[in-house]
Structure 1
Amino acid sequence: MVIDLSTPRAVSAAALYAAAMLTAAPLLSLRGTIITGVTAFVLDLAMFAYFGYRGSASEVSELSMVATVAVIAAFLNRLLYHLQTRLQSARDIAIAVQQAVLPDPPQTSGPLRFAARYEAAQEDAQIGGDLYAVVNTPFGVRCMIGDVRGKGLDAVRAVAASIGTFHEAALRENSLAELVERLEQAITLEIQRAGNVTELEGFITGLVAEFPRHGKEVRLVNRGHPAPVLFLRDTVRYVEPSQWALPLGMAALAPGPEHVDTVALPEGATLLLYTDGLTEARDKKGDFYDPVDRFAQSRFSSPNTLLDALLADVHRHTRGRRTDDMALLAITHISDNT
C-alpha cells in the first residue's frame, strides 16, 4: 500500500499483495492467513478507489489475481499443517522406537555410575546403526557398545536383534567369552536372514565389558571396535586390546577363542565407550577428533559431566556438522561410601 501511494499510478504493487499472503501461509494459522488475504484484497480495492479507477478489465484482473492467491494461500496453509502433523507423528514414533531399542541405562549399580548419549547422523532421526546396552546380572554389570555396518532400516533391525540377544545372553552366560559367542551366532543368523551372501557383507564392530561385583577391574572383549578411553586421576589413555579380533559376524574368517582383557578400574576412574562417530568427527581442515588429546588435562566428577563436556567439544570441533551416528557410554567407579 505504501508503494502504491508513493509511486506513479502506472506502477502496481499487486505482486506484493500476493507475496504477503504466500508468506503468511507457512508462518501463520489458517485464521491469520485468511485475515491476511482479506486485508490484501480490501487494500488493493481501496487503492483502486483512491486513484479513481472504475472497473476496467485490468482492475478486475488484478483483483481476481489477489483473490485467487488468497484462496491458494489458505490451501497451502492447510497442506503444510497436515504435513507438519505427520512429521511430528513420525518424530514421536522415532522417539518411542529409540526408547524401546536404546533405553537409558541405570544411573547407578553399586559403586558404578552410568551415563549414555546418542546422536544420529541425520538431524531429525532418533536412532541409527549404533547401539549400547547395560544389564545388571548375577555375574556383575555387563555392557555392550557397537556399530552396525550399513544404514537405514536394515541397520535398525540389526541393532534391535543385537540388543535383544545381549540382554538375554548377559543374564545366562557364565563367562564373557561365552556371551560374545552367543552374540556372534545371533548376528551371523541376522546377516543370513537379511540376505547377505558372505561375512564381508554384514558385521558389527562391538565391545563387551564386564564389571565384577567384587573387585576394582573391568573385563573387555573387543571385536574390531575403537579402543575405549580410561580416565584416571593422573592420566587419560586408550585401552587397546592385547589381541585384535574381527568384528562380530565375521568369526568364520578367523575362528578361535575369544580373548578377554582385564583392566584395573580404581575408585575415581571412568571408562568411556564410544562408536567411531566420535573419533572420525572432523574439523574444517579434515583433522579427526581425539578425545585423549582434547581431555588430557581434564577431570570430571560424574559420567554425565564428562559426556556433556565431550559432546560440546565435539560440536565445537565439527562446527555442528554430523557425518555419522555417535553413541557414548561412560561408567565411573566411585567410592562405596559416596
Structure 2
Amino acid sequence: MAVTAPKRLSQRMRDQGRPFETALLTPLLVVVVVSVAAALTPHLQFNRLLGVAPALAAAMFPVAGTLGVGVLALTADTALGLVVEHDLNRTPGYFTLLAIATITLAAAYASRVRQNRERTLAQVCAVAETAQRVLLRPLPNHLGQVDIEVLYRAAAAHARIGGDFYEALQTPYGVRLIIGDVRGKGLPAVEAASVVLSSFRVFVKDSPDLPSLAGRLESGINGYCEVVPSEDVLERFVTIVLVEIPTDEPVARLVNCGHPPPLLLHDGDVREVEPSAPSAPINMAALLGDHYRVDTIPFAAGDSLLLYTDGVSETRDHAGTFYPLAQRVRPWAFAAPRQFLDLLEQDILTYVSGTRDDDLAALVAHRAALGPTG
C-alpha cells in the first residue's frame, strides 16, 4: 500500500526502545555504584544516595518492580551498616532506612500513576489509529496509469489525524484526487475533514465535471454546519484542490478552492500551477460565490503533480522564513514518487526551527503512461 507510515513508525519505536531497555538497568546500577562508593569511603556516607534508585525506578518500572528496587536499596543499606560500620543501632542509620522506605512508597505510587496515564494514552492512540484508517485510508500505489504516493504527519506528537486530508479514486472520467485543509485544529477540524471526504467519496464517480463535484462538496459541508451549529460556523471553511487525470488525454484538470498551488514536475522543471481565477473555499460560496474555474494543464507520461497543504509551504526556519518549496524540490524532480516524498520530509525536518505546529500532508501523482488512445 502507498501509506507506509505505520511500518516506519513501528520500526522507529523499536529503534527507540533499545536505549530504553538499557536504561532499565539504571536503578540497579545506582544501587551497585552507591554501595561500592559507601564501602570504600564510609566517612562520606554515600549510602544516603540509595534512595535515588527507587525514585528512578518509578519512571520505568511497574509498581512491583519499583518496590523490588526499594527493597534492594534497603537491603544494601542494611548490609553496609552491618559490614562496614559493624553497627546499625544508630539514629543516622535508622533515619537513612526510613528515608529510603518513604521514597520507595512514594515512588511506587508515582509508578502507578504513570502506568494509568500510559494506559490512557495507549487507548487514545488506538482510537486515533482506527479513526485514521477510516478517514485517511491507505491509497493504492497505482490507479490506472497514475502512480500515487502520500506523506502525512499530524502536528500533535501522539496524534495520527488532523485537519489535513487527501483521497484518490478511479472514476469513469479518469483518476480524481483531492487534497484539503480545514481551518482550525482539533476534533472540529477532523470532523469537518470527514464530512468533505465522505462527500467526495460518494459523489466523485457521478459528478460529470470538477465544478459540479466542488458544488456537491459545498452542499455537504453546508448541511453539516446546519446540523452541528457553532459560534465559528461562518469561519469554518476548507481549502481544497480537485484534480482530474483523464486516461486517454495528456492533460490534468484542476479546480483550486483557496488552496496552495500544486507543483508540476515536467522534464526536470518545477513550476507552480496557479489558478487562472480564484474559486471560493468550501463553505464560503454564500459569501464569495460558487463559480469554480477549471484549469487544464499539459500532463504527459513522466510528469508528476505535487499536491500539498500549508503545513509544507508555511514551515519556517529559525529566521521565520517560509520553506521555499519549489526551489528545494527542484534537485529531486526526477526522483520516484516515494523517494521524492521521503526526501521532502527529511528536508522539512532539517529546515524547520523547533516543533512544527501544523499538520502536514503531501501527495504525488505521477503519470506512468497514457491510455491506448493517448
Equivalence map 1:142-157=2 (5 Å): 142-157=176-191
Per-residue CA shift, 1:194-219, capped at 9, x if unaligned?
Answer: 42467642101111111112211111
Measured in 2, the distance between the counterparts of 1:169 and 1:65 equals 69
Which residue of 1 is the match for residue 348 of structure 2? 314
Shift in Å, 1:117: 1.2
Which residue of 2 is the match for residue 110 of structure 1? 144
Which residue of 2 is the match for residue 65 of structure 1? 99
> Is the 2:300–2:370 contact (alpha carbons within 8 Å) kept by the matching residues of 1?
no
The amino acid that maps onto 1:265 is F
- 2:282 matched to 1:263? no
Measured in 1, the distance between the counterparts of 2:337 and 2:310 equals 19
- 2:374 matched to 1:328? no
Per-residue CA shift, 1:85-116, capped at 9, x if unaligned?
Answer: 22122212211111110112121112100011
TM, length-normalised to structure 2: 0.84
Equivalence map 1:1-338=2 (5 Å): 1-7=35-41, 9=43, 11-30=44-63, 32-49=65-82, 50-196=84-230, 200-318=234-352, 321-335=355-369
The amino acid that maps onto 1:215 is E
Higher mean alpha-carbon deviation, 51-60 vs 280-289, is at 51-60
> Is the 1:199–1:252 contact (alpha carbons within 8 Å) kept by the matching residues of 2?
no
- Give the number of equivalent residue pairs: 336
Measured in 2, the distance between the counterparts of 1:64 and 1:98 equals 51
DSSP 3-state at the match of 1:295: helix
The amino acid that maps onto 1:16 is L
Measured in 1, the distance between the counterparts of 2:290 and 2:239 equals 17
> Is the 1:315–1:321 contact (alpha carbons within 8 Å) kept by the matching residues of 2?
no
> Is the 1:196–1:202 contact (alpha carbons within 8 Å) kept by the matching residues of 2?
no
The amino acid that maps onto 2:54 is M
- Give unmatched runs, 5+ long, in structure 1: none
Per-residue CA shift, 1:158-199, capped at 9, x if unaligned?
Answer: 011110011001022111111000011111222333424676
Per-residue CA shift, 1:66-85, capped at 9, x if unaligned?
Answer: 22322332333333233222
> Is the 2:270–2:333 contact (alpha carbons within 8 Å) kept by the matching residues of 1?
no
Shift in Å, 1:256: 4.1
Measured in 2, the distance between the counterparts of 1:301 and 1:54 equals 73
- Give unmatched runs, 5+ long, in structure 2: 1-34
> Is the 1:207–1:225 contact (alpha carbons within 8 Å) kept by the matching residues of 2?
yes
Measured in 2, the distance between the counterparts of 1:194 and 1:149 equals 16
Greater than 6 Å deviation, 4+ residue runs: none
Per-residue CA shift, 1:196-244, capped at 9, x if unaligned?
Answer: 4676421011111111122111111111000000000131000000001
* Seq. identity, %: 34
Which residue of 1 is the match for residue 29 of structure 2? none
Per-residue CA shift, 1:129-178, capped at 9, x if unaligned?
Answer: 11111121122211111110111111110011110011001022111111
DSSP 3-state at the match of 1:96: helix
Measured in 2, the distance between the counterparts of 1:320 and 1:303 equals 27
DSSP 3-state at the match of 2:330: coil
Higher mean alpha-carbon deviation, 228-237 vs 52-61, is at 52-61
Measured in 2, the distance between the counterparts of 1:60 and 1:6 equals 21
Report the CA distance shift for 1:300/1:32 in structure 2 as closer, same or farther (over 3 A): farther
Output the aligned Cα RMSD.
Answer: 2.1
DSSP 3-state at the match of 2:333: coil
> Is the 2:78–2:88 contact (alpha carbons within 8 Å) kept by the matching residues of 1?
no
Shift in Å, 1:6: 4.5
The amino acid that maps onto 1:5 is A
Measured in 2, the distance between the counterparts of 1:80 and 1:111 equals 51
